[in-house]
Chains A and B, each alone.
Chain A
Amino acid sequence: MTLYKTISLTAFLICLIILTYHFIRLIRLGSPKDYSSKRGNLKSAISYSLTGAMNPLKKESAYLHFPTYTAGLLYHSGTFICFALFFLFLFNIGFANSIQWILIFVLIASGLSGLGIFIKRITVKKLRHLSNPDDYISNLLVTGFQIFTLVMLVKETFSPYYFIFVSLLFLYLPLGKLKHSIYFFAARYHLGFFYGWRGIWPLKSHGQIK
């Protein structure tokens, strides 16, 4: 394993340890104790929270902002692919040429989406007002991750730069908002728990007279 790969693997392990600490803390703190009489089904509500409630037709944040929502989906999909590719690159695992071209196409789309979200954050007054340096850095790191991965797919000699960049990403990830990679799932769990306890989710109707 090259020095660059060793550095990136170390950075990944540091990131993993810190995220595991966050995860264990959440597990140890546990679910809220609710003394009220439960009306609904928690299991189906939590499952709904992670599935049906995420349906873009059910959320204004999706259907009123469809281009941003689509860009967000692509961006996150690209990020997951990049993480998978990181391990393939790290352990020199190859794949078919046809898959490579599909990945290139997907990463161009996801990288452009990330860039689009970044530009939106800079240019839209309302978003600028909400943003702090971490918001910009996080976006740049993740978008950069996708671009570096893309370059790696076509040019193997780019490897040292790629692994150094990925190391930076892994070291930064637990410090700022990127740790929503852990907290997102916990948030969906808690929301499902809350609405499920009261029998609101899974939503059977939006309230239309029958």
Chain B
Amino acid sequence: MKNFEDKKNKALKVLSGQKDSKLVTYLNSCVHCGLCAESCIYYLTTKNEQFIPTRKIELISSIYRRYCTFTGKHFPELTNARQLDEALTDEMVDQLFGACTLCGRCTKHCSIGIDITYLVREGRKMLSEMGLVPATLQSTVNAALQTGNNMSIPTEEFTDTLSWLEEELKDEVNDPNASIPLNVPNVNILYTLNPREPKFFPLSISAMVKIFYAAKESWTLSTSMYDVTNYAYYTSNNDEAKIIAQRLYDEVLKLNAKRCVLAECGHGSRAFRWEGPNYLQRTYPFEVLTSVELLADYISRGKLKLNKEKNKELITLHDPCNLVREGGIIDQQRYVLKHSASNFIEMTPSGTDNYCCGGGGGQLSMSEYNERRMKIAEIKADQIRKTGASIVVTPCHNCIDQLIQIENKFKLGVQIKTLSEIVADAIVLE
């Protein structure tokens, strides 16, 4: 019991130890109008009231009211101010980890303007302080902390994969000097990867390597720190997130690269580009950009010669939430597709209103919620089906993984590709 009390006090410090007015504002703002319900893929697919976004944040704000407000302390029944006990923490784990992809769609459409995703992450932070992160998700973080990448790929296996890909590159571009530079200092770009790429999707590395070759870029990969992901962003454990972000930060400085280019990974981009400086409490002395921005930049500056007739099939685009709605990369991927594919159709809705694929928020790591994850995927499957496209492009490896599972389950007859694969296919080598 004392153990729970200790944990509880740690969790309550998340609510009381406010650094700015953001948390206290959002905790006091919800009017329970329930109009956010239809913005959430969990509610839309199940009609379960527990999944209404306001219901999820109510778990956190009811605790805040109970311990931090006059009304909640003295008249808890009036505002449904709840004691933080084990029953409530069970509910929080299920709702905040198991029923939210942190897609931010409810935030954008909230009638008041509450950053619901931010509050869910604060709730996850409370659970993290209590040691209640689902073990499946925590194991992904632990793998990154212990081995340097979230899939625990040994360096030898990684370099073997790269040397095989290098041989492929030489054949493809018909240049014996073509290479995949490793640990080269003083380059323009340090490129990162999602560990799923060397493990399961080496073709996306091939594509990006070919693009760098065609653009005559000065770049390198690091063999000691290449992982763009940061699953501690999902667990909201800022100490662990800081360790992971610090490693990439140190590697950019060690290799003295001018720019750090983040691979096609929504949460990884967010975690390093936007959250990383706050984890580290410092501004980066180098430029950070996503590979989507880099591709758009190459095309606009004429660094790539593309023939979009090489991609004739009907292509649609899935917008990753962290990159688009929460990261502002909205037009660049469309600009890239406009120049590299001849037949494109938008999903409805798209851009900042796009629906999550269902794989965000760490859902892909938490196998205990698999059934729920594939249930919410019905919306994405329907969106894809309505486009009639034969290829779905998305600049995010988490989304790729979920979309492949959607294709398997719903038999949509589509191929799932990264943006760089489409660009690489359209390249005309001179």
Contacting residues, chain B, for A183 (C-beta < 8 A): 25, 28-29
Contact A65 B283 (CB under 8 A): no
Q: Does B114 contact A (CB under 8 A)?
A: yes
Contact B277 A36 (CB under 8 A): yes
Tell me the A157-194 residues at the B interface (CB within 8 Å): 175-177, 179-180, 183-184, 186-191, 194
Q: Does B344 contact A (CB under 8 A)?
A: yes
Contact B28 A179 (CB under 8 A): yes
Contact A33 B20 (CB under 8 A): yes
Contact B35 A198 (CB under 8 A): no
Q: Does B32 contact A (CB under 8 A)?
A: yes
Contacting residues, chain A, for B113 (C-beta < 8 A): 49, 53, 184, 187-188, 190-191
A61-B111 contact, Cβ under 8 Å, with A207-B319, A210-B338: yes
A176-B79 contact, Cβ under 8 Å, with A187-B113, A190-B115, A191-B115: yes
Q: Chain B residue with minimal CB distance to A29?
A: B21
Tell me the B86-144 residues at the A interface (CB within 8 Å): 107-115, 118
Q: Does A97 contact B (CB under 8 A)?
A: no
Contact B20 A29 (CB under 8 A): yes
Taken together as a complex, chains A and B put the C-alpha atoms of A39 and B290 apart, in Å, by 13
Determine which residue in B38, B274, B280, B325 has the highest number of CB atoms from chain A within 10 A of its CB, and name it: B274
Contacting residues, chain A, for B412 (C-beta < 8 A): none
Q: Chain A residue with minimal CB distance to B345?
A: A209
Contact B31 A180 (CB under 8 A): yes
Taken together as a complex, chains A and B put the C-alpha atoms of A29 and B29 apart, in Å, by 16
Closest chain-B Cβ to A17's Cβ sits at a distance in Å of: 14
Contacting residues, chain B, for A207 (C-beta < 8 A): 319, 324, 330-331, 334, 346, 350-354
Q: Does B210 contact A (CB under 8 A)?
A: no
Taken together as a complex, chains A and B put the C-alpha atoms of A132 and B327 apart, in Å, by 35
A205-B331 contact, Cβ under 8 Å, with A30-B20, A36-B273: yes
Taken together as a complex, chains A and B put the C-alpha atoms of A203 and B353 apart, in Å, by 11
Q: Which of A86-94, A123-131, A143-151 lies at the binding interface? A: A123-131
Contact of B277 among A22, A30, A37, A199 (CB under 8 A): A37
Chain B count of residues within 8 A CB distance of the other chain: 73
Q: Does B78 contact A (CB under 8 A)?
A: yes
Contact A180 B78 (CB under 8 A): no
Q: Does B281 contact A (CB under 8 A)?
A: yes
Interface residues on A, range: 35 or more
Closest chain-B Cβ to A44's Cβ sits at a distance in Å of: 14
A125-B49 contact, Cβ under 8 Å, with A35-B278, A207-B324, A210-B338: yes
Taken together as a complex, chains A and B put the C-alpha atoms of A198 and B325 apart, in Å, by 10
Contact A32 B22 (CB under 8 A): yes
Contact of A62 among B49, B111, B319 (CB under 8 A): B111
Contact A186 B21 (CB under 8 A): yes
Q: Chain B residue with minimal CB distance to A188?
A: B113
Contacting residues, chain B, for A203 (C-beta < 8 A): 352
Question: 1/0 per position for B1-38, CB-CB distance to A under 8 A?
Answer: 00000000000000000111110111011111111111
Contacting residues, chain B, for A47 (C-beta < 8 A): none
Contact B25 A26 (CB under 8 A): yes
Q: Which of B51-59, B174-182, B188-196, B199-207 lies at the binding interface? A: B51-59
Contact B20 A206 (CB under 8 A): no
Q: Does A25 contact B (CB under 8 A)?
A: yes
Taken together as a complex, chains A and B put the C-alpha atoms of A147 and B28 apart, in Å, by 27
Closest chain-A Cβ to B397's Cβ sits at a distance in Å of: 20
Q: Chain B residue with minimal CB distance to A63?
A: B109
Taken together as a complex, chains A and B put the C-alpha atoms of A30 and B22 apart, in Å, by 8
Determine which residue in B25, B80, B334, B352 has the highest number of CB atoms from chain A within 10 A of its CB, and name it: B25
Contact A200 B325 (CB under 8 A): yes
Q: Does A40 contact B (CB under 8 A)?
A: yes
Contact A60 B338 (CB under 8 A): no
Q: Chain A residue with minimal CB distance to B350?
A: A207
Taken together as a complex, chains A and B put the C-alpha atoms of A59 and B21 apart, in Å, by 25
Contact B32 A177 (CB under 8 A): yes
Taken together as a complex, chains A and B put the C-alpha atoms of A72 and B32 apart, in Å, by 13
Contact A187 B25 (CB under 8 A): yes
| 3 tightest Cβ-Cβ pairs between the two chains A and B | A207-B351, A132-B80, A61-B35
Which residues of B pack against A, CB within 8 Å? 18-22, 24-26, 28-39, 49, 52, 54-55, 58, 70-71, 77-80, 107-115, 118, 273-278, 280-284, 288, 319, 324-328, 330-331, 334-335, 337-338, 344, 346, 349-354
Which residues of A pack against B, CB within 8 Å? 22, 25-27, 29-37, 39-40, 49, 53, 59-62, 64-65, 68-69, 72, 124-127, 129-135, 137, 175-177, 179-180, 183-184, 186-191, 194, 198-200, 203-210
